[in-house]
Each structure stands twice: as C-alpha cells, then as structure tokens.
Amino acid sequence: MDNKMGEKTGYIYLGSSPATDRENYAIMVPYPDEGKAPFETSRMVDSARNANGEVVGRMVGRSVHKQSLAWSVMPAEKWWEMNRWFEQGHFTFYCHYFNHNFGQWETRLFYLGDVKTNPFVVSTETGEPRFYRDASFNVIDCGVV
C-alpha cells in the first residue's frame, strides 16, 4: 500500500512516545510476508477449584498482545535501520498496531523479543550482505495500562 508521499505504508509503527501513530513515528516496519505475522493474545487468570471441583476464576489485568513478524527477504539497509533503533536505547517503545481482536488501531508500550536472520548475497569484497533471508522478530506488549 502507498501513502500520499508514495512511500509504502507500514504494518506497525514504533516510537518513543505515546503519541506514536501512522504519522508520528521513529520506525515504520514494513508488511511481513503473507502468513508470517501471527497476532497472539494472552490473558492472565487467577483461578482455583472450589469444594465441588468447579473452576472459579477471573481475568487479572488486561489482555496482552504479541506480534510476530517475518520476511523471506529483507533489504539490509532496512534491517539495519530497525535494529539500530532497538539497540540505541529502545528496549521498551511505543508500538502503533492494528488490534486484530477489535478491528482498531492502538498504541501501547511494547518490548522487543527474539530477533533472527540469515545473511544473503554477501559481498566478497566487504563481507556485507545486500539482503537478509528469513528475517524475523517479535514485539510484545508490556501490559501497562
């Protein structure tokens, strides 16, 4: 998808303030490959069984989201841009994302999970790749209300 400036529209947007959205962000994460962006929701539950063996419980806090993202091929410059930003003091960050449970855009505090990739088309002169294959990372909701 293209926006009004001809740039690709992002899949999620990352920033250092709660004002992060599709127009105010530090990093625009490109759309992952089809079928490589599972959206997960977890819920903390306080539960036990009563004297009759029935489950008695309630949800504690709010739902927490995890967005996994993967690309078959990622340009090296884009991969480096995203990872430099994470490494430059952004252990936690604001993530503007589409909540697939409610059909709406939200911004919440997240942190970076696992990051994986494989160098592809590596220069024999510099040792630097032009692309990365099977590049992936996930971002996880901090659960802050």
Full residue range of the structural domain in which residue 23 is found: 12-141
CA angle 58, 63, 67 (to 5 degrees): 150
Would you say residue 7 has pLDDT above 60? no
Q: Is residue 6 part of a domain?
A: no
Q: Is residue 53 part of a domain?
A: yes
Q: How many domains does the chain have?
A: 1
Q: Is the pTM of this model over 0.75?
A: yes
Spatial separation of the C-alpha atoms in residues 90 and 110, rounded to whole Å: 10
pLDDT bucket at 3, cuts 50 / 70 / 90: very low
Say which residue the tokens 């962006």 belong to. 37
Q: Encode pLDDT of 88-136 as tens digits.
A: 989 899 999 999 999 999 999 999 999 999 988 888 888 899 999 999 9
Q: Is residue 3 part of a domain?
A: no
Give DSSP secondary structure letters for 23-86: SS-SEEEPPPPTT---EEEEEEEEEEE-TTS-EEEEEEEEEEEEEEEEEEEEEHHHHHHHHHHH
Q: Encode pLDDT of 32-83 as tens digits.
A: 999 999 998 898 888 899 999 998 888 887 889 999 999 999 999 999 999 9
Q: Is residue 134 part of a domain?
A: yes
Q: Is residue 7 part of a domain?
A: no
Provide the pLDDT for residue 143.
86
Spatial separation of the C-alpha atoms in residues 17 and 1, rounded to whole Å: 25
Q: Is residue 101 part of a domain?
A: yes
Would you say residue 22 has pLDDT above 60? yes
Say which residue the tokens 């539960």 belong to. 47
Q: Is residue 5 part of a domain?
A: no
Rg (Cα) of the chain, in Å, rounded? 19
Provide the pLDDT for residue 74.
94
